[in-house]
Structure 1
């Protein structure tokens, strides 16, 4: 009888564990597998393109549309497409739109993009983005203002006999239609070597309440591979501050979920072997920033889990390397408590694997796990810092793009 009860108890526990492990994850994501666009909603995977070469999918404001680039293996083609999840069809917003920089409005299903230095916005036809209108010429970088009615736009500095000139930023309404009278100067970045040398600004990101915008001031191509300047500017263009030096990875700087704290991976040098640290700066910067990476380690990606907790992709530094093939830095995810400074490993890749691209969606933590030699990998999830990690997507070409309810 005792033996039978033990077997029954083991069966119940196994059943409960299996139910929890196989419970449907309430997340929706767009992802690329074998160069095609897919959508995963809960446990269902749906392929939505065939015979294309897809990259850079992005969700629209309400999740009805996914904009993406249809390219080719040689990088000679970069055509903008949109997938309509309601009508289940792919279409082009215009006959041909060649772009590599496109962004959805934060308040509606309107798409802005640059093509050969021209900023454009889509019109609407039958409640779908269709056609376009010109906004501004001479654009090197842009972002929507949080109100969805204007853009912050940068133009490249001019090369003068005395060197590179300043970088102009503009505040431009979406209906500017190339009218010079509507291009309002916003701020002028006065550059100088070596403290702040740059020729254009890009990768704009707004803080939680839109009080500040962060961006990278980017120098000439070779220099930018080793160092870019992270800056912030107030919403009215009145306060400008330099935060620090970093590499040109957009995901390496992120605002806190509900405060004016800016986290970034600080450090110069194009190789990941050393000098890459998690730093957090209160904005406006009135005190010295805080750094959290222990001696002997490098942090190579980051994500906010909460106001008091960060997630980083961390590896041991490799100062011994100085020539030959660049070593792979095998990262695992760590949770960093910003109050107590307690730090614990929260993902556990095998010896030849690395975990990158941490992302928090609701209570879930997502990351991309791959081997050092492969470009493809799997997407893993865990529910909370102490949850059980498991595979959510197999054999994908890049981290997924989650739809996050606005």
Structure 2
């Protein structure tokens, strides 16, 4: 009897790793760009979706149900003005295998979280396309995000210069009720919050020009967003902020640089971000991974001294994976720049574990955890400024690592399901 109990205990301890090892990557579809073509990997088979080589400046996006793929293609000319290029918006139907152009020149397109309609911007106008027609929704929109229920948007208007100085950026909520029959573009927009003209944290201050990168907390009661100054200044210093959905509570959390992308934990109001201003070309330094809990506003720093973070992903509510380098000055010679490796961190345990060991001359960037298959993915590449690398996949502890997709365009891919 004692031996049976011991065997059962061993099997229980082994079960998680067995599950990780047996999880099939074919359960996830990957849309990606390679060498100027749109590709799809499904059932572990790669299929080229486009026949003509083109420029794709943005990653493809899966619809909420995984049945359609949104992509943007750069083309010459524009039917309205004298722009040299246009950004066409296209939809690929995975079932019918047909491509459909939905708009001739749009930007910042985003799928609804609840149905197959696409929002996008065009010359400051926020629009919706239902794949047959498009509809004007609101004017003067700088950036926006869908509300979690798909019934509207959180949106911003940017500050504008006047003889007496800049105006304020403003946040709005916009309803899309009966958008097909709407005869006005103003009645469904409500002012949520007027952002102060200047924001600061500690001894760092910026002027408030634009607001964007909106994301909702897991309980949908908080919105994280980034306030930026003028374009060139924004590359060095932005401010991460949060606001309650009713607009009554607003707070500046920390300074970021333009490349940082704040991310919420899965089911707790924990906001992760890489704090610190300054472009990478000013040195691999002042880039610390922090987690702030809301509404308690308690912050923990997870980056040890003399290190800098290049990117991160939540694994669960209590652990994260980061792409980390030793603090180093910038070098114009690529082989002298530090190559990041991945570490597994915990909010409850100070021990931090290195989980990848790239070969000499290679680094591990852009970690993305996929809960649907309990795997961590990342790109292995020679340098952060290269245009392509290999997409790797492994268990969260780094075991069973393998190449998933060769020669993939960096940050030009999307997974379904992603959660």
TM range (shorter): 0.7 to 0.9
- 1:90 equivalent to 2:131? Answer no
- What displacement does 1:337 show? 1.1
Which residue in 1 is equivalent to 2:285? Answer: 274
- Does the CA-based 8 Å contact 2:388-2:410 persist in structure 1? yes
- Aligned 1:136-175 pairs, distance under 5 A: 136-174=138-176, 175=179
Q: Using a 3 Å threshold, how does the CA distance of structure 1 residues 179 and 27 change in structure 2: closer, same or farther? A: closer
Which residue in 1 is equivalent to 2:416? Answer: 403
- 1:113 equivalent to 2:134? Answer no
Q: Take 1:22 and 1:184, find their aligned partners in 2: how far apart are those partners?
A: 46
Q: Using a 3 Å threshold, how does the CA distance of structure 1 residues 102 and 370 change in structure 2: closer, same or farther? A: same
Stretches of structure 1 lacking an aligned partner (at least 5 in a row): 1-16, 124-128
Larger relative contact order, structure 1 or 2 (CA cutoff 8 Å, min sep 6): 2
- What displacement does 1:208 show? 1.3
Q: Take 2:49 and 2:195, find their aligned partners in 1: how far apart are those partners?
A: 44
- Does the CA-based 8 Å contact 2:199-2:252 persist in structure 1? no
Q: Take 1:253 and 1:238, find their aligned partners in 2: how far apart are those partners?
A: 22
Q: Take 2:332 and 2:265, find their aligned partners in 1: how far apart are those partners?
A: 39
- SS state of the match for residue 62, structure 1? coil
- What displacement does 1:160 show? 2.8
- What displacement does 1:86 show? 1.1
Which residue in 1 is equivalent to 2:107? Answer: 100
- Does the CA-based 8 Å contact 2:75-2:88 persist in structure 1? no
**CA offsets, 1:272-294, max 9 Å, x none?**
5110010110112533x110111
**CA offsets, 1:148-190, max 9 Å, x none?**
0111110111223332221111111122654322221111111
- 1:337 equivalent to 2:350? Answer no
Residues paired across the two proteins, number: 377
- Does the CA-based 8 Å contact 1:172-1:183 persist in structure 2? yes
- Does the CA-based 8 Å contact 1:135-1:177 persist in structure 2? no
Stretches of structure 2 lacking an aligned partner (at least 5 in a row): 1-17, 78-83
Which residue in 2 is equivalent to 1:382? Answer: 394
Aligned partner of 2:379 among 368, 375, 379: 368
Q: TM-score, normalised by structure 1?
A: 0.87
- What displacement does 1:46 show? 1.2
Q: TM-score, normalised by structure 2?
A: 0.85
- SS state of the match for residue 187, structure 2? helix
Which residue in 2 is equivalent to 1:286? Answer: 297
- 1:69 equivalent to 2:72? Answer yes
- 1:207 equivalent to 2:185? Answer no
Q: Take 1:355 and 1:348, find their aligned partners in 2: how far apart are those partners?
A: 8
- 1:358 equivalent to 2:367? Answer yes
RMSD: 2.3
Q: Take 1:37 and 1:136, find their aligned partners in 2: how far apart are those partners?
A: 31
Q: Using a 3 Å threshold, how does the CA distance of structure 1 residues 324 and 332 change in structure 2: closer, same or farther? A: closer
Q: Take 2:295 and 2:166, find their aligned partners in 1: how far apart are those partners?
A: 28
- Aligned 1:245-284 pairs, distance under 5 A: 245-249=255-259, 252-271=261-280, 272-284=283-295
Q: Using a 3 Å threshold, how does the CA distance of structure 1 residues 73 and 303 change in structure 2: closer, same or farther? A: farther
**CA offsets, 1:167-220, max 9 Å, x none?**
111111122654322221111111226534220101111111211111110110
- Does the CA-based 8 Å contact 1:62-1:405 persist in structure 2? no
Q: Take 1:58 and 1:100, find their aligned partners in 2: how far apart are those partners?
A: 13
- Does the CA-based 8 Å contact 1:133-1:177 persist in structure 2? no
Q: Using a 3 Å threshold, how does the CA distance of structure 1 residues 22 and 117 change in structure 2: closer, same or farther? A: closer
Which residue in 2 is equivalent to 1:392? Answer: 404
**CA offsets, 1:81-129, max 9 Å, x none?**
11011110111124x2x12301000111110000111100013xxxxx2
Which residue in 2 is equivalent to 1:313? Answer: 323
Q: Take 1:118 and 1:159, find their aligned partners in 2: how far apart are those partners?
A: 20
- Does the CA-based 8 Å contact 1:298-1:316 persist in structure 2? yes
- SS state of the match for residue 222, structure 1? helix
